[in-house]
Amino acid sequence: MKDFTIPRLGFGAANLGNLLRALTDDEAWAILDAAWDEGVRYFDTAPHYGLGLSERRLGAFLATKPREEFVVSTKVGRLVRPNPEWQGELDLENDFLVPAETRRVWDFSADGIRLSIEESLERTGLDRFDVLYLHDPERGDLDAGVNQAIPALAGLRDEGITRAIGVGSMDTAALLASARTGALDLLMVAGRYTLAEQPALAEVVPTCRAHGVGIVNASVFNSGLLATDNPSAGDRYEYGGVPDALLARVREIAEVCHSFDVSLPTAALQYTLRDDTVRSLVMGASSPDQVRQNAARMTETIPNELWAALVDRELIPE
């Protein structure tokens, strides 16, 4: 990753693929417009997000911007292929409100990865991707991901096809196995290093530090649990329900934040940026107001006493 620095704040484009809620093209554009106006210059997408819809929408927007002014990443491992069994249903099994006329096919081979990149370039209309991540290898074949896909990505980086490579996952074991290869520049840690829970701290973060791997932290709200000042049992956690013990701890964290006049979402956004291993924070949004609100939270000052109080109450590790 020589001579390449990833921007501190990024936009995660899963919502542009109609994740849990359908957006019009105009609504998607307005969200991206707000992100650009707030200074966001790193954008992350994937073929998985809406079976290519996110890539198409993001590419159309970025086509209006100078290429040298932004960094963009996409992911490999899943190819989008025609679905011969489609009978008009939506892709609800994967939480995307798009027609399931195509389907995802796992392919961790070197040829499959090259093909995935070519197809993503065609969907986005871009000339290149700055970062390529292997996406959720544990959901397909982790051994193949580690032993085939990562070396293939490293070869593409060496060829100059991309500037940096990484793995993105919500699974701690997959993140650790990937970091241990020593081949990666970045690791996209989704939901495993947040104010609510930090399973990545035990081994993943130290391994990244030892191998010089930067962390791109995603899903810092744990899919919504940390997104409001008053967490409730009805909030979404990992796209599902909230475990009782976790909800109780997050409510305690919210109380401490309130005592320092700091909102829970603000603390959640800034928490891991105190760690120099975390190079970037990727945030999604389903409206322009969410984008602007999160950008404002990033500029707020949090007293060090807040973090000390959370440590004292054993709500976060020291």
Catalytic, out of 42, 49, 133, 237: 49
DSSP 8-class letter at 19: B
Rounded (5°) CA angle 285-287-292: 80
Contacts of 286 (CB under 8 A, 6+ apart): 15, 21, 23, 31
> Alpha-carbon distance 301 to 303, whole Å?
6
Distances, alpha carbon 194 to alpha carbons 98, 223, 267, 275, in Å: 30, 11, 10, 12
> Alpha-carbon distance 283 to 269, whole Å?
9
User: Is 231:238 a contact under the CB 8 Å cutoff?
Assistant: no
User: Is 171:204 a contact under the CB 8 Å cutoff?
Assistant: no
Q: Among all chains, which residue has been given the structure tokens 């241990």?
A: 180
**Among 257, 254, 278, 268, CA closest to 298:** 268
Lookup: tokens for 15: 């919502």
User: Is 254:231 a contact under the CB 8 Å cutoff?
Assistant: yes
User: Is 298:7 a contact under the CB 8 Å cutoff?
Assistant: no
Lookup: tokens for 210: 């030892």
Q: How many CA atoms lie within 13 A of 156 on its CB side?
A: 32
| 193 given a catalytic annotation | no
Catalytic residues: 49
